[in-house]
Amino acid sequence: MDFQLIDWVFIVGYIVVVFGIAIKSRDDMEENALRTPEEIAQEKYMANKSLTFLESICSIIATEVSALTFIGIPAVAFKGDFTFIQIYMGAIAARFVIAVVFLPKVYDKGLTIYEVMAKETGLPSGQKAVAIFYSLSKVVSVGVRLFSGSIMVATFFNVNIYYGLAAVTFMTLIYIQIGGLKAVVRTDMLQMALFIIGGLLAHYLIPKTGGQSWGEMMTMAQAAGKTSFLDFTNPWPFVIGIMGGFLFDMSTHGVDQDFAQRITANKKLKYGQYAIFFSSFISIAVGLLFLSVGALLWAYYQRHPMPNVQGADYLFPHFIVNYFPLGLRGIMVAGVLAATMSVLDSTINALCATSYNDIFPKRDPKKMKFYGLLDSIIWGVGILTIAIIASKSEGLLYMGLKAQSWTGGTLLGLFLTKIVFKNYFKYQLTPYSVVGAYIFGMTGVFINTQVLNWNWNLNVYWGCGLSLIFLKIYSTIKPLKTNPI
């Protein structure tokens, strides 16, 4: 392994820096001499509302990008074209709505977004039901992301993918316990920088390895239609992509606790608003960066033998391990590790926040540290289990996004009726109303995908639409007996 010494230096150096950030964040927490469980929770899950605009926007990008971007997006472009960018384009309008409409209604109103939803006209059991459905769906979608990142780790170290999964999960669990949300956000800034550097390096090294210029390879890809994202003879798929990205992004970045805590934990409301809106433009840039990597790989393999790998998701990791120079391989592995951990750490932190605040609010506050560790382990094992199941599949990028679309529309529908349009949906948030909304929402997804066979981008529309119909009927049959306080 001596010939990999430089690579190891970069990888170990990254790990040391990550844990150093976590320890520094822990020391900052101890200096604050927090005493009550509420204060500890605010620090651990909301960073004591101390996030800056820069911390928030970097954390949003690092969390949403993940290893699915690093591994999955090049595979999408390799097999197809740039149409995936349509989702990011639709997100611009979605994040404007989140910034202007959603965020002012939830900022500084509660520890989690589900607490805010139940605050005026909800029961604790209703709040718990929403949090449980959210948590379970989050575990499924993030499990796919964990697997995608572990492909690179397992390929580089030449070990079974399951060892890579376990190692990434274990390391993330440890450092989450050290520093809380502040450590997660600070680390996300480093992680975002690393995977963007990795993408830029790929743009330089793939052409160099192939003996062609960047322009020549991209011209080849363009001539083959690899860079196309709009067909003027049939613009409907483009419209569907934009529409899907609009409501899909609203259901993730607007009502998902994982992203919501990054904008509600800002020092000021306007910082969160700026962060969520301008992050959409950075997302487009990052998406194009990695779609172009897939186009370059396609051009490369037109003149070189295809490797014997399991599928397109393994092409970029294989290229990195076999063709990148010493040292740069280590940077790329650290970049993928960063992208994977940035999703896993933020997800587990958000899930622990819902466990503490929404699912098990009556736990003994004196045992908060123990329960925090227990929750982290439970959620971590759950995500790891889904990742192992996902290891049997291909097309990781779309599989991860589709999993989010199954329930995202229903959660958005519940949020809209309790926060945005509450005067038109006067009902009490109870387990019955929540379960009914999810049954109708999932039925809508089933109709879209299995009966009509329409594009999966419309899942959120069907889920949100049918859940709204149910909740309107529910509010008519069982209206509030008293006015909201």
pLDDT of 485 reads: 41
At 62 the pLDDT is 76
* 399, two tokens: 């599989």
In angstroms, the CA 469 to CA 441 distance is 9
Distance of CA 245 to the CA centre of its chain: 14
Closest of 135, 139, 127 to residue 415, by C-alpha: 127
| pLDDT of res. 369 | 80
Rounded distance between C-alpha atoms, residue 18 and residue 188, angstroms: 9
Give how far Cα 463 sits from Cα of 20, 93, 468, Å: 43, 20, 9
The pTM (predicted TM-score) of the whole model is 0.87
Length of the chain: 485
The helices-and-strands tally (H runs, E runs) of the chain is 19, 0
Backbone CA torsion sign across 475, 478, 481, 485: negative
Across the 485 residues of the chain, what is the mean pLDDT of every consecutive 10-residue run?
Answer: 68 81 65 63 80 87 72 86 88 95 93 91 91 91 74 74 79 73 74 82 92 94 90 77 88 90 90 94 92 94 85 82 82 75 80 92 83 89 84 58 84 95 92 96 94 89 96 92 52
**465 bridge partner residues:** none
Q: Where does 2-395 sit in CATH, by number?
A: 1.20.1730.10
Nearby residues of 96 by Cβ (< 8 Å), 6 or more positions away = 277
Q: Which two tokens stand for residue 181?
A: 């949300």
What is the C-alpha end-to-end distance of the chain, expressed in Å?
A: 67
Report pLDDT for 28: 59
Say what the pLDDT of residue 29 is. Answer: 54
Asked if 139 and 384 count as a contact pair (C-beta separation under 8 A), the reply is: no
Annotated domain spans of the chain = 2-395
